[in-house]
Structure 1
């Protein structure tokens, strides 16, 4: 997998630096390495944002964390990522990545929501315990400090709703949703505000690891698009 991160907050906000001194991408790489993945990282300020054709062509699943610099992501790179997703690469979008160019393009909606930045408890309920992303999770788990995201969340109806969040202020949120686009699988996962140590929490890392395995599952044969042969010719080839 490749973990993509803006890597801006960690360099210009001392509070974030104290939580993620080497960057959110390195915290995720460290936590996910326990699951046996081969993991690379890429950041916004690298050439081509670190997402060269070579990198993407060797990536089964791309994890995306962005926040303050969505508009700085080059449209050509967004198109490159979209093409890879449509051709089978998995995509896991975290927290404020809901407003990234790539997620909005794949969803076709504003992906807007309400939010409140406060030290607030979040309880994440597993609402589809049979889903592979929920494997090994308890009925719910809690994060003592997180940023609130609330409905309405302007996304298409998800293929599957795996996790729902409740916050102390009373709001609820669809915090774990899946989609398919072309041959690619997409998972959006809500937690991960940069000032809280969320990505060190075992249940959070477990969800992301499960999502990587789910998104990287083998696909069926790539479909053929174009001028189709008459059925009798296809049948003759099969019989031969």
Structure 2
């Protein structure tokens, strides 16, 4: 069974009654709930837990880590970020959601500012599927339409994605690369844009389907990891002596 850890800073839920009403068990709880229903072994971790809930034991037993953050990116300890980065390089999948684009772990793995335009105006978002044969888009129609969402607009300062799965259009006119995949070391990374905390986005069945698909896609490949560093020759090396 694929083991997933859903990480959430869990601050909006404590500070904003509206968010607490929409997500009474936290954004992490809502996501872990539908992942459990989909057949995954889903646990949660939050910012204020010791080691942010991401102990060596938790990370080493996570096939995929899902990350949601916004208010408190700076409070995430650098040593925890480095541990997560190493697990991704070793093969753990990472799914970064919405405002997690500004998280330390995503910026570290991307090597860019990851900045963008944004606006809160209760506007419609339409996520167009631009890679219809990709497994992350399985079961999704031509597009996903969200009645109200926060706008993110280009330019999104990330490296060119290995694959672009979704492109969003917003009622105000902007577009955005909303579903992007990256390979980092032995691990797979998926960035998925929707999920502003004041909207019930994570109850949308299509959004849930994308995240379920992404977990399946991002899980580690069952193979021996490459060995790095000094290596002994596989074949006998014949040394030629100059005559």
Range of TM-score over shorter length? over 0.9
**Aligned counterpart for 1:229 among listed residues 228, 232, 241:** 232
The equivalent residue for 2:20 is 17
Secondary structure of 1:32's aligned partner:
helix
Cα distance in 2 for partners of 1:230, 1:24 equals 51
How does 1:142-161 map onto structure 2 within 5 Å?
A: 142-161=145-164
Superposition CA RMSD, Å? 1.1
How does 1:1-240 map onto structure 2 within 5 Å?
A: 1-233=4-236
Cα distance in 2 for partners of 1:39, 1:113 equals 31
The equivalent residue for 2:240 is none
Distance apart, 1:218 and its partner CA? 1.6
Cα distance in 1 for partners of 2:54, 2:142 equals 37
Change (3 A) 1:27 1:106: same
Distance apart, 1:157 and its partner CA? 0.3
Q: What are the Cα deviations for residues 57-113 of structure 1, in whole angstroms up to 9, with x where unaligned?
A: 000000000000000000010001001000000000000000000000000000000
Distance apart, 1:29 and its partner CA? 1.1
Cα distance in 1 for partners of 2:228, 2:235 equals 19
Change (3 A) 1:125 1:193: same
Distance apart, 1:31 and its partner CA? 1.7
Provide the aligned length of Structure 1 versus Structure 2.
234
Secondary structure of 1:194's aligned partner:
coil
Secondary structure of 2:100's aligned partner:
helix
Secondary structure of 1:83's aligned partner:
helix
Distance apart, 1:229 and its partner CA? 2.7
The equivalent residue for 2:241 is none
CA contact 1:91–1:187 (8 Å) conserved in 2: yes
Further displaced range: 216-225 or 58-67: 216-225
Cα distance in 1 for partners of 2:187, 2:140 equals 25
Distance apart, 1:228 and its partner CA? 2.6
